[in-house]
Amino acid sequence: MKTSMTRREMVRMSVGAVAVPSALGALGDDRSAAPRPRLRQSVSRWCFGGMSLDDLCKAARDIGLMGIDLLGEGDWETVRKHGLVCTMAVGIGTIPDGWNRVENHDKLVTEAERLIPRVAAAGLTNVVTFSGNRAGIGDDEGLANCVVGLKRIAALAEKHKVTVCMELLNSKRSHPDYQCDRTPWGVEVCRRVGSERIRLLYDIFHMQIMEGDLCDTIRENIAYIAHVHTGGVPGRAEIDATQEINYPRVCRALLEAGYKGVVAHEFVPKRDPITSLREACRICDVQAA
């Protein structure tokens, strides 16, 4: 099945087999023991653009996922009808145009003021945002500008218990010139804003390309990571043995660090998409040591 929609198009549109246990996990063989924590999993809509949202929801529910990632508000109700949730809403800025430019702030604040209450009213908890491309702005200046802008919406996010997640993306191959392309930079933004509702979307695919050292980076910065994306390196294909990331080990690192958020699969399937999604969920269904 051919994927017909790119992620950038999806963002712009916003302005059998082994089954995975349920979103909250399942007991092990020893039923007298307390259940061990498992990661909650979802899937990004744009990667499966060749199938209808209804069909994707049916497959996701059958596999044991809890929701669909990166949806505009027009799709939230469709997901809810299937007993799922939108695990990450889109709508505050775009990848190239974000908080690192002061001239964008008024527009972004207006978008946030409209969207955040709607996200909360729908029972959702996460919305994605972006630093924007450098376009000649130095990293220190861009960081300071992001802090100024995000502070303007922090109280609103806190009031509505909605986490605004700035996404870490690689600027080496996928998003040239994107500024929030390293974990320390993103963490410093969150630290300076000083709000529990301004956090990071840690994309494993992107950060493997930019930094590597995934497990220790997660452990050291878990307090600032609110959401996680997967994807195979190289090429953002399946997260199986054909690529270089050891996903079971990375997922155990998340659990061992105390991660409570969602792992959303954001790979573009090269084979049968539902078979690949089911396999990805099985790969990430690990337990802490």
Assigned domain for 201 exists = yes
Predicted confidence at residue 19, as pLDDT, reads 41
Token pair for residue 114? 């409209």
Q: What is the pLDDT of residues 27-71, one digit of tens each?
A: 334 444 555 678 999 999 999 999 999 999 999 999 999 999 999
| 9-23, 80-94, 95-109, 251-265: range with lowest mean pLDDT | 9-23
- Report the pLDDT value the prediction gives residue 37, as an integer from 0 to 100: 73
77-109 residue pLDDT tens:
999 999 999 999 998 999 999 999 999 999 999
Angle between helices 183-193 and 214-221 (to 10 degrees): 10
Rounded to an integer, what distance in angstroms lies between the CA atom of residue 84 and that of residue 242? 30
234: preceding bond cis by omega (within 30 degrees): yes
What is residue 24's predicted lDDT score, i.e. its pLDDT?
Answer: 38
Q: What pLDDT does residue 211 have?
A: 97
How many structural domains is the chain composed of? 1
203 domain residue, yes or no = yes
Q: Of 242, 243, 163, 248, give the one whose Cα is nearest residue 208.
A: 243
Task: Decide if 27 is inside a domain.
Answer: no
Residue at 26 is within a domain: no
State the CATH number of the domain containing residue 141.
3.20.20.150
User: Is residue 129 within 8 Å of residue 96, measured between CB atoms?
Assistant: no
289 inside domain? no
pLDDT above 70 covers a percentage of the chain that reads 88
Tell which wins on pLDDT, 181 or 5: 181
Over range 107-122, report the average pLDDT: 98
Instruction: For 208-241, write each residue's pLDDT tens digit.
Output: 999 999 999 999 999 999 999 999 999 999 999 9
**Is residue 119 included in any domain, yes or no?**
yes
Domain membership of residue 21 (yes or no) is no
179, part of any domain: yes
∠ CA 186-202-84, rounded to 5°: 135
Residue 216 belongs to domain spanning: 7-13+37-284
Helix, coil or strand: residue 49: coil
What percentage of the chain carries pLDDT values higher than 90?
A: 85
Helix (H) / strand (E) containing 225? strand 225-229
